[in-house]
Amino acid sequence: MAEERKIRVLVAKPGLDGHDRGAKVIARALRDAGMEVIYTGIRQTPEMVVKSAVQEDVDVVGLSILSGAHLELFPPIIDGLREKGMTEVLVVAGGIIPDEDIPILQQMGIKAIFGPGTPIDKIAEFINNEVAAKN
Amino acid sequence: MTSKNKQEWQETTLAATLKRFPERQERFETSSGIDVSPVYTPEDIPDSDYSAALGYPGEYPFTRGIQPTMYRGRLWTMRQYAGFGTAEESNRRYRYLLEQGQTGLSIAFDLPTQIGYDSDHPLAQGEIGKVGVAIDTLEDIEILFKDIPLDKVSTSMTINSTAAILLSMYIALAKKQGVDPAKLDGTIQNDMLKEYIARGTYIFPPRPSMRLTTDIFAYCSQNVPRWNTISISGYHVREAGCTAAQEIAFTLADGIAYVQAAIDAGLDVDAFAGRLSFFFDSHNNLFEEIAKFRAARHLWAKIMRQRFEAKDPRSWMLRFHTQTAGCTLTAQQPHNNIVRVAIQALAAILGGTQSLHTNSFDEAYATPSQDAVTVALRTQQLLAYENGIGDVVDAFGGSYLIESLTDALERQATEYIDKIDKLGGAVAAIEQGFQQKEIQESSYRQQKNIEENKSIIVGVNKFVSPFPNISGLLRVNPEVERKQKERLAQIKKNRDNDKVNKALKNLDEVARSQDNTMPTFLDCVEAYASIGEICDVLRKVFGTQKEYLVF
């Protein structure tokens, strides 16, 4: 029996912000939920995030940001992923993101925004369902 | 019946009740895993020699407070951390806060300023003015403190990698205002070690960073004697997820490393130790937090007196700022945060803090709005004036529970410090990822407890209900970026660029030597060299540090 390919997730911290508690907790929890998780560490430029996503051939990119720079830093990531042909990759985000920005980010192609207090099993379930629907 | 001691009571009265009415939980414990028993008695306090164990306020070992009268003499400094957008906007917020009765300033800088990039640097784009005010040159500092006489306020600056540069700008501005630098009151955070552990705004490797730190100690002891040269911070490690005991331990271990570095650089311990200050978090467990502040004070006094043989009582005193725990604020039902903040602030006051920042209820969404920050400041004023809390020193001193917790936390923290010593000290331990790993373990455990409903957060995993959106959130105007870049371009055009180049070249030479870097930083900023230009010189000399990534 062929072993099922694990879902591959890149957890990334774009921008200069060092608040990595959430990103690290999510990364570990998704790993515990059976996914293959790559964590970039802090201070990633959009180009670095795109490069890691391509290199690691991930199914999911999770962006964590708390500095308020999401409207500036997310678009080049989304564009870069498209340019590299990663049109199928599921992009989700979390951190401190005001409600009014959520539709803007969703329109950009970010599938879900998980704000503070979101249960992690809900995030894992969302990723599992979305990736399954694509396959 | 009347029990003769705690054990007898447990075996008789308590046991009988437990058979019929079991307690709500199998075990009650603090964040640090300390068992909480149903009641505390004299038997829970190990050392019965009152004066040796506790002492009196204003005397070694300072468990009860660093001043004899504490808040009966003067209330703690109410100091709200603030800064956003341009220097003009932040200046307006500071003057508003001072008008509302705030007693000290606390400056938040944006991330490019903290990491040494000018506003026109590619990595700064999107971050300018976001989590604090954008500063490129002395001109921004002049605007930031417009109509605020520097001899009338005390100013705390949350700045680390670029602390020497921002302090130099503050000194330069004082000179322009005609204020003697020797009269300046304030604090720079200047705590690089916790940046590698938790906060993330490092630029250079630890050893050159420590050299900049000790240069500041030496310079200020001669020229800015009232300045707090460092604020050794537990706040950020706690926010990153560690326990109360780890917060004490990692902070004091960093403190030990700074003191040792300064002694190794040839300074006399009593020449600088009195200007060291600390910064702690105030979290949710009221009793554990009160005990934490007391334990930290006691332990530091012992470390300074016994380990470093400091002679001046000022060197033994742990003076600290407190901020309520940002990580406990919820986006759900945000007004509940006002209550959380009030109780955390109470813990800090009962723990004997010297200054306090109370968080605003909207901070799970954005940088605080003016309305939200006003409620936060009023919370402190309520606690100061309406409840009699400050009328007595160390109100909980002698409480069987608090004394027992103080002792237990100090024991746990001491064990951690011993471990860090064995690893070669705080710097070596960071290089091995020790503190980072411990924090990650604790933070993951806390998250699991929340997920499994073992820890209750009202409005998040219990008592969940719909809540209205909060209005009036602060948004940084996107115009800020353009304005800030324009101002920088203007300054670069109009300043004496020969003078700038000369100052930067001199900095390069001094940074490569053993000489104190502070006077050259002062020359650079007075010539209106930018933070980015100054840091570029240092990056060339010192190299840059990659993340100590433990995952």
- Cβ of A116 within 8 Å of Cβ of B364? The answer is yes
Rounded to whole angstroms, the Cα distance separating B202 from B542 reads 12
Residues B301 and B69: their CA atoms lie apart, in Å, by 19
The C-alpha of A45 sits at a distance from chain B's nearest C-alpha, in angstroms, of 7
Residue A67 has its nearest CB partner, among B111, B198, B240, at B111
Structure tokens at B69: 């009268």
Chain A hits for B130, CB-CB cut-off 8 Å, are 67-69
Per the prediction, chain B carries an average pLDDT of: 96
List beta partners, residue A44.
A14
The CA R_g of chain B, rounded to the nearest whole Å, is 24
Write phi, then psi, for B266 (nearest 5 degrees): 100, 10
Alpha-carbon distance B282 to nearest alpha carbon in chain A (angstroms)? 18
Q: Do B200 and A21 touch (CB under 8 A)?
A: no
Token reading at B317: 């005193």
What letter does residue B303 receive in the DSSP assignment?
I
**Residue A17 with chain B: CB contacts under 8 Å:** 111, 127, 131, 200
Chain-chain contact of B332 with A117 (C-beta, under 8 angstroms): yes
Give the model confidence (pLDDT) of B243-252 as tens digits.
Answer: 999 999 999 9
> Is the Cβ of B469 closer than 8 Å to some Cβ of chain A?
yes
Using the beta-carbon criterion (under 8 Å), do B327 and A21 form an inter-chain contact? Answer: yes
Q: Which pLDDT does position B51 carry in this prediction?
A: 63
CA-nearest residue of chain B to A37? B551
- Could you tell me if B365 lies within 8 Å of chain A, comparing CB atoms? yes
* Residues in chain A closer than 8 A to B127 (CB atoms): 15-17, 67, 69, 72
Whether A36 and A30 have beta carbons less than 8 Å apart is answered as no
CB-nearest to B127 from A39, A69, A115 is: A69
Residues of A with CB below 8 A from B131's CB?
Answer: 17, 67-68
List residues of A whose CB lies inside 8 A of any B CB.
15-21, 24-25, 27-29, 39, 41-43, 45, 67-69, 71-73, 96, 98-99, 115-117, 119-121
Q: Tell me which DSSP letter residue A135 carries.
A: -
Check the CA dihedral B29-B33-B35-B40 and report its sign.
Answer: negative
> Is B168's pLDDT higher than 90?
yes
CA dihedral B288, B292, B295, B301 (to 10 degrees): -170
CA dihedral B26, B28, B33, B39 (to 10 degrees): -130
Structure letter (DSSP) for residue A88: T
- Does position B37 have pLDDT exceeding 50, yes or no? yes
Spatial distance between the Cα atoms of A88 and B296, rounded to a whole number of angstroms? 53
* B65 within 8 A of B54, measured Cβ to Cβ: no
Instruction: Report domain extents, chain A.
Output: 8-134
Share of chain B above pLDDT 90, in %: 93
Within 13 Å and on the Cβ side, how many CA atoms surround B281?
25
User: Is the Cβ pair A29, B447 closer than 8 Å?
Assistant: yes
Q: How many CB pairs under 8 A join A and B?
A: 93
Q: Inter-chain contact A24–B440, Cβ cutoff 8 Å? A: yes
Instruction: Answer whether residue B489 shows pLDDT above 90.
Output: yes
The contacts of residue B411 (CB under 8 Å, 6+ apart) are none
The distance in angstroms from the start CA to the end CA of chain B is 57
Question: The tokens 């509302």 sit on which residue?
Answer: B100
Least Cα separation, residue B443 to chain A (angstroms): 7
Mutate to test the interface with A, among B131, B189, B242, B535 (most CBs of A within 10 A): B131
- Residues B327-356 have a mean pLDDT of 97
| Token duo for residue B9 | 């009571």
Residue of A nearest to B449 (CA): A119
Q: Which residue of A has its CA nearest to B197?
A: A18
Q: How is the beta sheet containing B81-82 ordered, strand by strand?
A: B81-82, B105-107, B154-157, B185-188, B227-228
CATH architecture of B68-451: Alpha-Beta Barrel (3.20)
Q: Name the token pair of B289.
A: 């937090």
Question: For B309, phi and psi rounded to 5 degrees?
Answer: 55, 40
Which tokens is A12 given?
């990334």
The mean pLDDT value for B479-497 works out to: 97
- Reported confidence tier of residue A4, pLDDT bands at 50, 70, 90: confident
Q: Would you list the DSSP string of B326-339?
A: GGG--SSSTTHHHH
What is residue B541's predicted lDDT score, i.e. its pLDDT?
Answer: 98
B215 HSE (CA, 13 A, CB side): 24
Please report residues of A whose CB lies closer than 8 A to that of B451: 119-121
Q: Is B476 on the interface with A (CB under 8 A)?
A: yes
Q: A6 vs chain B: nearest CA distance in angstroms?
A: 19
Whether residue A62 contacts residue A94, with contact meaning beta carbons closer than 8 Å, is answered with yes
CA-based nearest residue to B183, from B219, B226, B141: B226
Structure tokens at B497: 């660029």
Does residue B47 surpass a pLDDT of 80?
no
Tally the residues of chain A: 135
Whether chain A has a CB inside 8 Å of the CB on B200: the answer is yes
Q: What pLDDT does B48 receive?
A: 61
Q: Among A25, A41, A121, whose Cβ lies nearest the Cβ of B444? A: A25
pLDDT > 70 fraction of chain B, expressed in percent and rounded = 99
Q: What mean pLDDT is predicted for residues B308-327?
A: 98
Contact flag A28-B444 (C-beta cutoff 8 Å): yes
Of the residues B127, B243, B545, the best mutation for testing chain A's interface (the one with the most A CB atoms within 10 Å of its CB) is B127
Mean pLDDT of A108-131: 95
Residue B507: alpha-carbon gap to chain centroid: 30
- What are the residue ranges of helices labelled H in chain A? 21-32, 46-55, 70-83, 102-108, 120-134
Res B218 pLDDT > 80: yes
> What are the distances in angstroms from CA B492 to CA B126, B176, B513?
22, 20, 28
Name the nearest CA neighbour of B231 among B152, B309, B312, B156: B156
A chain contacts of residue B189, beta-carbon cutoff 8 Å = none
Q: For residue B366, what pLDDT is reported? A: 87
Chain B residues near residue A14 by CB distance under 8 angstroms: none
Beta-carbon separation of B367 and A68 below 8 A: yes
- Amino acid type, B272: F
Contact A29 B131 (CB under 8 A): no
* pLDDT the model gives residue A1: 47
For the segment B260-291, what is each residue's pLDDT rounded down to a tens digit?
999 999 999 999 999 999 999 999 999 999 99
Whether B127 has its CB under 8 Å from any CB of chain A: the answer is yes
In this prediction, residue B1 has a pLDDT band, given cuts at 50, 70 and 90, of: confident
> Which residues have a Cβ under 8 Å from the Cβ of B466 and sit 6 or more positions away?
none
Nearest Cβ partner of B199 from A18, A24, A43? A18
Instruction: Give mean pLDDT, residues A21-35.
Output: 97
Chain B hits for A45, Cβ within 8 Å: 123
Nearest residue of B to residue A74, measured between CA atoms: B126
Closest CA relative to residue B237, chosen from B461, B493, B429, B517: B429
**pLDDT for position B471:** 83
Q: What is the token pair recorded at B537?
A: 């010189």
CB proximity B331 to A under 8 Å: yes
User: Cα B424 to the chain's mean position, in Å?
Assistant: 25
Query: What does the pLDDT read at residue A3?
Result: 62
Closest CA to B481 of B125, B224, B167: B125
The three-state (H, E, C) secondary structure of B179-247, written as one string? CCHHHCEEEECCCCHHHHHHHCCCCCCHHHHHHHHHHHHHHHHHHCCCEECEEEECHHHHHCCCCHHHH
Question: Which of B11-16's residues contact partners 24+ apart within 8 Å by CB, and which partners?
Answer: B14/B38
Per residue in B438-467, pLDDT tens?
Answer: 999 999 999 999 999 999 999 999 999 999
Higher pLDDT, B468 or B338: B338
* Overall average pLDDT of the B500-523 stretch: 98
Nearest-CA distance B5 → chain A (Å): 45
Q: Enumerate residues 6+ apart whose C-beta is below 8 A from B280.
A: B233, B234, B235, B238, B247, B251, B292, B293, B296, B320, B321, B322, B348, B353
Query: Which of A20, A115, A120 is facing B200, going by the closest CB pair?
Result: A20
Predicted confidence band of residue B93 (pLDDT cuts 50, 70, 90): very high
- Residue of B240, B332, B365 with shortest CB distance to A21: B240
Residues with Cβ within 8 Å of residue B113, at least 6 apart in sequence:
B132, B133, B134, B135, B136, B159, B162, B166, B531
Question: Is B200–A115 a contact, with Cβ atoms under 8 angstroms apart?
Answer: no
Are B172 and B145 in contact by the 8 Å Cβ rule? The answer is no
Cα–Cα distance for residue pair B540/B520, rounded to 1 Å: 16
Place of tokens 């019929």: B20
Q: How far apart are the C-alpha atoms of B370 and B354, rounded to whole Å?
A: 24
What tokens does B247 get?
Answer: 């917060």
In this structure, CATH architecture of domain A8-134: 3-Layer(aba) Sandwich (3.40)
- Whether the pLDDT of residue B94 is over 50: the answer is yes
Relative to beta strand A36-39, strand A60-65 is unpaired
Band (B494; pLDDT cuts 50, 70, 90) = very high
Pick the residue with more confidence: A4 or A46? A46
Could you tell me which residue, B488 or B551, shows the higher pLDDT?
B488
The residue among A116, A100, A135 whose CA lies nearest residue A7 is A135
Q: Which two tokens stand for residue B288?
A: 């554990």
- Look up the ipTM and state it: 0.94
